[in-house]
Structure formats: C-alpha cells, structure tokens
Amino acid sequence: MKYLNALTAVVCLGAIAQAASPVPRKAKDFRCMDASGQQISISALRGKVVVIQFLSTSCSHCQAFSRMLSRFQTEYGPLGFQAVGVAFNEATPEMVKKYVNITGAKFPVGYASREDVLGYLGVSVLERLMVPQVVIIDRGGQVRAQSAAQGSAELQDEASLRRIVGGLLK
C-alpha cells in the first residue's frame, strides 16, 4: 500500500511539473478536424501569425472571443494573420457547425479530444482549465503567448491582443 501511495505521488508531481509550458518555445504541430471532415494543421500555417482559441461550444465567453477573432481575421488576415478555433468539449461536427453559425466565425473551427488539447497546452489533467484558452504563434513558428490554465484576461482583452498581434505582424 505504501508503494502504491508513493507511486501515485510521483505520478501526480510529474504531471504538475509538466503543467507549465515555457514561452517562447517552438510550436508543436496540432491537428484537428473541421465539421466537414477536413484536417486543420497548425504547422501548415507557418509564416503567419496564428491565434488558436481552444473552446467549449457552449461557453458564452468563447463565443464572444470568436466574434472578436472574426474581426481580427477580417482586419489582419490580408497582413498574414490566421485565427483557428478548436472545440474540445466532446464536440461533434454538428456542434461545431452550430457554433460557427452562432458566432459567425470567419476562420476555421475544428474539434479535438480533451487529451490532445491538454497535451498541446502542456496542462496537467489535475488542473482546472478555464476557456477560452489562447495560444499565439509568431511567423517563425514560436509560441509567444499562452493562457494560464485558469485563463488570461490579457489575452482575451481586445486592446492587449491587438498590441500583441500587431507587433508580431510588423
């Protein structure tokens, strides 16, 4: 029994130690499927400034953030900006289609498993994860900003996000 408790403690501490992903760092590829079955690949967007929104399709904050990202896509898209949404609340293609219709998202929105998203974010399964989670990747494929597991007001604030994205587009 003592061995099992010690092993559990080591596993939990290891998971917590990996929970904080350093920034800046090389962006790993992340792939998901959109509602029509097409694959979205983050590595295919290299050369652009990318904002990934990890979301829950039923979250009102996520919906508001997607509307803001749609404005960014319209304004900054011609300059090399690309927004991407990834639903991970056990979303189905139908849920993603409904989300796009509700938000008017003007960027690709796909879906992936919670495990894949947590792995990409470097967040422990033991942490409470708030949505939306935001990751910003520069043209060279480096993660320049990422939400904390508990969320990030700065990355969800339009003025702050404009400053970050605008600086990376220069």
Q: What is the 3-state secondary structure (H, E, C) of the chain?
A: CHHHHHHHHHHHHHHHHCCCCCCCEECCCCEEEECCCCEEEHHHHCCCEEEEEEECCCCHHHHHHHHHHHHHHHHHHHHCEEEEEEECCCCCHHHHHHHHHHHCCCCCEEECCHHHHHHHHCCCCCCCCCCCEEEEECCCCEEEEECECCECHHHHCHHHHHHHHHHHHC
Residue 86 CA to residue 79 CA, distance in Å, equals 23
Mean pLDDT for 40-45 is 98
CATH number of domain containing 128: 3.40.30.10
How does pLDDT run across 49-72, given as a tens digit for each residue? 999 999 999 999 999 999 999 999
pTM for the whole structure:
0.88
Could you give the C-alpha distances from 50 to 6, 27, 81, in angstroms and in order?
Answer: 42, 11, 6
Total domain count, the chain: 1
Average pLDDT over residues 7-27: 59
What is the extent of the structural domain holding 29?
2-169
> pLDDT tens-digit profile of 129-147?
999 999 999 999 999 999 9
Q: How far apart, in whole angstroms, are the C-alpha atoms of residue 85 and residue 54?
A: 6
pLDDT interval class at 159 (50, 70, 90): very high
Q: Model confidence over 103-134: pLDDT tens digits?
A: 999 999 999 999 999 999 999 999 999 999 99
